[in-house]
Amino acid sequence: MMLHAGGAVVTVLGFRRDAAAPPTVGGARTIDLGRTRDGRLVHRAWAVLLVALRPAAVRAATADADVLMARNLETLLLAVRVRGTRRLVYECLDIHRSLLGNGVVARGIQAIERRLLAAVDLVLTSSPRFADDYFRDRRSLAAPIRLVENKVLAIDAGSVPAAVDRAGAGPPWVIGWFGMLRCRRSLKALTALVRNSAGQVRVVLAGVPSEQEVGDLAAHVAGVPGMTFLGRYRPSGLPRLYGRVHFAWAIDHFEEGLNSAWLLPNRLYEALAHGAVPIAIDSVETGAWLERHGVGLTIAEDDDVVDLLRAMTPGRLASARAAVDALPRSAVTAGIGECRALLDAIAGTRIPELPARVRNAVPQS
């Protein structure tokens, strides 16, 4: 979406997990490279290897491209195979557990990653911790890194409305957990919170659950009075979703330890853009972001949300909402200027080298 807004013509090549690939993604034409399975690393590796050994289709599909941009390690492998002399950009929004492990398979994947990274002209990543703690400290990356946070796209003024009819002051207090629902610990904590709240706390869930991680989410929620699962939603539905809740659950223990401590999730920016108050763990990058910007609520452990909401009052909620309202929109939304600057960086017309430590480049509040 940002590339389109910046003026690029985009074609998306990739693997799918559904039965069929959509004809377009975000307005870009798609080319289907085959199907892979969620959580089945060997199957994914085999599918990628088959395409890499016969790259003619990828080479033909990218023949007119000025720049190749890979969004994960398997597509980076394919891009390196067909790039020729063209500019190569790698976008990394998550660090898979296989890139952090110490086993034989993990070390093999990491060796492949190092070789592929040596061919990259630019890395795009969504969190300063990915840049500093992973690419610089663990991989000694020489290529420049550009920080592109998961902001809400706002091409013109007012294109991101605040929540529709903000939820009135509680109790009951309502927490929203939206987006990719893949954290077992979060589901367990929120379930216990609702069950033990005597009706004083409710939880609304919406998005795409990972069955492998959280099981049959709809069935689980159906057995917990006070929890509601609304299924998938479109971005246009975010104002109404956030209008139902007081707080946004911005906690994710998936890939716990490093990736979950480093990432800055979409829901952080979406919640703030639509007027909800995020709740995050204080020791991870999401909590640090909230502290730097003087918004949201942070806790040390998931279970601390019980005391947080027990002490919540309409006045405290009003203060937390006022801080959200005072946050500059540029902190959570990306306008046309950012889109064009991103395209310049990808095309190589403006090299976006960041300071030695990206964290130093993040605005302090």
Residue type, 267: R
CA angle 304, 307, 308 (to 5 degrees): 85
In the three-class reduction of DSSP (H, G, I as helix; E, B as strand; rest coil), residue 33 is classed as: strand
Query: Do 173-331 and 2-151+336-361 have the same topology in CATH?
Result: yes
In the chain, what are the domain boundaries?
Answer: 2-151+336-361, 173-331
- Asked whether 88 and 68 are in contact (CB, 8 A), the reply is yes
Which residues does 319 contact at the CB level (< 8 Å), separation at least 6?
A: none
Separation in Å, CA 5 to CA 25, 51, 71, 346: 14, 31, 19, 14
Answer for the pair 279, 306: CB distance below 8 angstroms, yes or no. Answer: no
Q: Are 35 and 16 in contact (CB under 8 A)?
A: yes
What is the CB neighbour count within 10 angstroms for residue 365? 14
Provide the pairing of β-strand 67-70 with 87-92: parallel
| Residue 103 buriedness (CB in 10 A; 0-12 / 13-18 / 19+) | exposed
Q: Contacts by 55-62 with C-beta closer than 8 Å and gap 24+?
A: 55/81, 55/82, 57/31, 57/33, 58/13, 58/33, 58/82, 61/11, 61/13, 61/31, 62/11, 62/13
3-state SS class at 167: coil
Residues of the chain with pLDDT under 50: 351-365
Residue-wise pLDDT for 22-43, tens only, equals 777 766 777 777 676 665 566 6
Give residue 355's pLDDT.
Answer: 45
**Is the Cβ–Cβ distance between 267 and 150 less than 8 Å?**
no
CATH number listed for the domain at residues 173-331:
3.40.50.2000
- C-alpha closest to that of 268 among 296, 292, 241: 296
For residue 285 the two structure tokens come to 């990058």
pTM: 0.87
CATH (residue range 2-151+336-361): 3.40.50.2000
Distance in angstroms (rounded) separating the CA atoms of residues 124 and 326: 29
